[in-house]
Amino acid sequence: MTRRSERARSRRPARLLATTLVAALTAVLTLSTASCGGSPGPGTGSGADPAQQASARAQGGSAGAIDVAAENAKPGTRAWAVDDSRLGAQDAIEGYTDHASVAPGQSFRLYVSTTAPSFTVAAYRIGYYGGADGHLVWQSPQTPGVHQTAQSIDATTHTVECDWQPSLTVGTSGWVPGEYLLRLDSSAGDERLVPLIVHSTSTAGRVVILAGTTTWQAYNTWGGYSLYRGPDGAYATRARAVSFDRPYLDPDEPSGDGLFFPFDQALVSFAEQHGLPVAYESDLELETSPQLFQGARAIVSDGHDEYYSQTMRDTLQNARDRQGTNLAFLGANAIFRHIRWGSTQLGADRLVICYKDATEDPLAASDPTQTTQDWRYAPDPRPENALTGSLYQCNPVDAPYVVYDPDNWIFAGTGVTQGTSFPGLVGPEYDRVVDIGTTPHPIEVLSHSPLTCQGTGSYQESSYYTVASGAGVFDAATMRWECALGSQCSAHFGQGARDFVRRATLTLLTAFAAGPAGRAHPAVDNTAADYVPLGEGLGID
pLDDT digits (tens, 9 = 90+) for 403-420: 999 999 999 999 999 999
Residue 182: per-residue pLDDT: 98
CA 16 to chain centre: 24
End-to-end alpha carbon distance in the chain: 43
**Alpha carbon distances (Å) from 257 to 253, 262, 307:** 7, 10, 18
- What average pLDDT does the segment 176-196 reach? 98
pLDDT value of residue 340:
98
What lies within 8 Å, CB to CB, of 380 at 6+ separation is 368, 369, 371
Per-residue model confidence (pLDDT) at position 177: 98
Residue 146, class by beta-carbon neighbours within 10 Å (0-12 exposed, 13-18 middle, 19+ buried)? middle
Cβ–Cβ < 8 Å for 257, 211: no
More confident residue, 169 or 12: 169
59 pLDDT above the threshold of 80 = no
Contacts of 232 (CB under 8 A, 6+ apart): none
Please determine, for residue 25, whether its predicted confidence score (pLDDT) is greater than 90: no
Report d(CA 110, CA 114) in Å as an integer. Answer: 13
Q: Are 313 and 335 in contact (CB under 8 A)?
A: yes
Task: Locate the DSSP E strands across 277-333.
Answer: 278-282, 298-301, 307-308, 326-329
Highest mean pLDDT among 6-20, 251-265, 304-318: 304-318
- Residue 210: the pLDDT is 98
What pLDDT is stored for residue 237 in this prediction? 98
Name beta bridge partners: 341.
352
236: phi > 0 → left, psi -120 to 50 → alpha, else beta; which?
Answer: alpha
Q: What is the predicted pLDDT for the residue at 382?
A: 96
Contact 49, 108 (CB under 8 A): no
Rounded mean pLDDT, 361-370 = 95
d(CA 486, CA 260) in angstroms, rounded, equals 13
Q: Buried b vs exposed e over 30-41: b needs ≥16 C-beta within 10 Å?
A: bbeeebbbeebe
The Cα–Cα gap between 371 and 390 comes to: 23
- Predicted confidence band of residue 530 (pLDDT cuts 50, 70, 90): low
What pTM was estimated for this model as a whole? 0.89
Q: Is 135 strand, coil or helix?
A: strand
Query: How far, in Å, CA of 478 to CA of 487, rounded?
Result: 17
For residue 239, pLDDT over 60 is answered with yes
Coil, helix or strand for 144? strand
Mean pLDDT of 173-198: 98
pLDDT attached to residue 10: 32
Taking alpha carbons only, the member of 329, 179, 209 closest to residue 279 is 209
Mean pLDDT to the nearest integer, 225-246 = 98
Cβ contact 80:146 at 8 Å: no
| pLDDT of 13 | 33
Burial string for 310-333 (b: 16+ CB within 10 Å, else e) reads: bebbebbeebbeebbbbbbbbbbb
| Range in 72-76, 77-81, 433-437 the model is least confident about | 433-437
Percent of the chain having pLDDT more than 90?
82
pLDDT one-digit tens code per residue, 455-492: 988 999 999 999 999 999 999 999 999 999 998 888 89
d(CA 160, CA 511): 44
Least confident piece of the model among 56-60, 218-222, 325-329, 392-396: 56-60
Mean pLDDT on 225-242: 97
The span from the CA of 269 to the CA of 264, in Å, is: 9
The arithmetic mean of pLDDT across residues 121-137, rounded, is 97
* φ, ψ for residue 107, nearest 5 deg: -90, 160
Asked whether the predicted pLDDT for residue 535 surpasses 70, the reply is: no
> Judging by beta carbons within 10 Å of its beta carbon (0-12, 13-18, 19+), is residue 155 exposed, middle or buried?
exposed
Cβ–Cβ < 8 Å for 40, 49: yes
Q: Please list, in sequence order, all residues whose beta carbon lies within 8 angstroms of the beta carbon of residue 341, skipping any fewer than 6 positions away.
A: 287, 309, 348, 349, 351, 352, 353
CB atoms within 10 A of CB 533: 11
Q: How far apart are CA 165 and CA 171, in angstroms?
A: 18
pLDDT tier, 64 (very low <50, low <70, confident <90, very high otherwise)? low
Average pLDDT in the chain: 88
* Sequence-separated (6 or more) residues with CB below 8 Å from residue 500: 414, 416, 422
- Is the pLDDT score of 1 beyond 90? no
Q: What percent of the chain has pLDDT over 70?
A: 86
Which pLDDT band, with edges at 50, 70 and 90, does 56 fall under? very low
DSSP, collapsed to helix, strand or coil, labels residue 263 as helix
List the single range of 27-31, 257-261, 262-266, 391-395 with lowest mean pLDDT.
Answer: 27-31
Work out the average pLDDT over 158-187: 98
Separation of alpha carbons 172 and 80, rounded Å: 18
To 5 degrees, how large is the angle CA 59–CA 60–CA 66? 115
pLDDT of 436:
87
Indicate whether 171 pLDDT > 70.
Answer: yes
Q: How confident is the model at residue 251 (pLDDT cuts 50, 70, 90)?
A: confident
Identify the pLDDT of residue 529. 54
User: String of b and e for 379-394 (b: at least 16 CB within 10 Å)?
Assistant: eebbbbbbbbbbbbbb
Query: Which pLDDT score, from 0 to 100, does residue 435 have?
Result: 83
pLDDT at 48 over 80: no
